[in-house]
Amino acid sequence: MKDPILKVNNLHTYFNTEDGEVRAVRGVSFEVHEGETLAIVGESGSGKSVTSLSIMRLLDENGRIAEGEILYKGRDISKIPEDDMRHIRGKEIAMIFQEPMTALNPVFTVGDQIIEMIMLHMGMDAKAARQRAIELLRKVGIPEPEKRVDQYPHELSGGMRQRAMIAMALSCNPKVLIADEPTTALDVTIQAQILELMKELQKEYGMAIIFITHDLGVVAEMSDKAAVMYAGKVVEYGDIVSIFKRPKNPYTWGLMQSIPKLNEEVERLMSIPGTVPNPRKFPKGCGFSNRCFLAKEKCKDEMPELIEVEPGHYSRCFYIDELVKEVEKSRVGEK
């Protein structure tokens, strides 16, 4: 098999704050290949955005990558000089954000901003860049791109702005696109369209996508692989089919049960009780132990290792066997 285009190895990212060090990410590993989509799933505060910002090296001033490597095409980019990193951003690895409302600069036209990127990375002249910007806008499904290119962000709807943002990110043919909850702020139909668009563009350009979301339902549609994150760690990692068919971690299982299913009545919808622990005082043992229905004494004191339960499928839990039984029981019940 080919080498992965991006490989994150044991990433630790800490923040210095007034009340001490916040270990927001404590050992995250995954890899993506060209043309592949990896989903990073987890509840709010689990460290998904911090992971992606670490890859981009765009952490706030008080944050630092304390440990681990980020290999882009085999080269560790976690420690290269800022100047080199800038050439990677946008051109090699691009990122889009959750809020299409604010991710575009309100004082410039959409076209200006896309043209800026194209001229910056591709060295085209203004005229050619404008032509390419219009082409890109058309490609991301914006009607009348010749007109839209001269409009300001506030003149576009949320969905269109996100499309414009995607056009901007794609303007330099990045090899990796990190999308941090790109559809969360949009309503459901628009969300589906944007996801569809991203899939199409991926097919055309062959880039790798890291898709960050807290919605496991979207993951199933979009991705080839998933990394489930909880309290700064990856708790389950593997290809999408194995994870959905044979979940091996109580947290993933909890998330799966909270996906609304069309043919089910609302009252059966489960959600995981409790909340994500505060990263300032993560429990000593398994991060999920205060909410896990399988938790035992051991879970509170010891941290389970990430183990390979079947080829390419990893989970971090002491009681995988018990979970498997639970899953089977519930699936039988459903049928």
Ligand X SMILES: Nc1ncnc2c1ncn2[C@@H]1O[C@H](COP(=O)(O)OP(=O)(O)OP(=O)(O)O)[C@@H](O)[C@H]1O
Residues that bind ligand SF4 (CB under 6 A): 250, 286, 288-289, 292, 294-295, 299, 304, 317-319
Residue nearer to other proteins on the CB measure, 67 or 99: 99
Q: Concatenated DSSP letters for 78-130? A: TSS-HHHHHHHBTTTEEEE-S-TTTSS-TTS-HHHHHHHHHHHHH---HHHHH
- Report if residue 109 touches Mg ion, rule: CB under 5 A: no
Do residues 168 and 117 touch, judged by C-beta distance below 8 A?
A: yes
Q: Which stretch binds other proteins (CB under 8 A): 31-39, 88-96, 189-197, 218-226?
A: 88-96
Count CB atoms within 10 A of the CB of residue 38: 28
Q: What are the φ/ψ torsions at residue 183 (nearest 5 degrees)?
A: -120, 0
- Report if residue 48 touches other proteins, rule: CB under 8 A: no
Do residues 21 and 14 touch, judged by C-beta distance below 8 A?
A: yes
Distance CA 1, CA 103 (A): 37
88, 115, 134, 216: residue in contact with other proteins (rule CB under 8 A): 88
Torsion angle, CA of 305/45/241/176, rounded to 10 degrees? -100
Residue nearer to ligand SF4 on the CB measure, 15 or 282: 282
Q: Which stretch binds other proteins (CB under 8 A): 164-172, 193-201, 269-277, 322-330?
A: 164-172
- Report if residue 76 touches other proteins, rule: CB under 8 A: no
Q: Which stretch binds other proteins (CB under 8 A): 25-33, 65-73, 109-117, 224-232?
A: 109-117
Chain Cα centroid distance, residue 332: 32
Q: Which does 154 bind (CB under 5 to 8 A by kind): other proteins, ligand X, ligand SF4, none?
A: other proteins
Closest separation in Å from C-beta 205 to Mg ion:
25
Alpha carbon distances (Å) from 238 to 145, 182, 244, 272:
40, 22, 10, 22
Do residues 171 and 89 touch, judged by C-beta distance below 8 A?
A: no
Closest separation in Å from C-beta 14 to Mg ion:
17
The pairing of beta strand 233-239 with beta strand 225-230: antiparallel
Query: Per-residue x/- marks for other proteins, 203-232, CB under 8 A?
Result: ------------------------------
Residue nearer to ligand SF4 on the CB measure, 22 or 286: 286
- Report if residue 46 touches Mg ion, rule: CB under 5 A: no
Judged by CB under 8 A, the number of residues near other proteins is 33
- Amino acid making up residue 39: A
42, 47, 63, 90: residue in contact with other proteins (rule CB under 8 A): 90
The residue number whose beta carbon is nearest to Mg ion equals 49
Distance CA 69, CA 77 (A): 8
Closest separation in Å from C-beta 98 to other proteins:
8
- Interacting residues with Mg ion between 309 and 328 (CB under 5 A): none
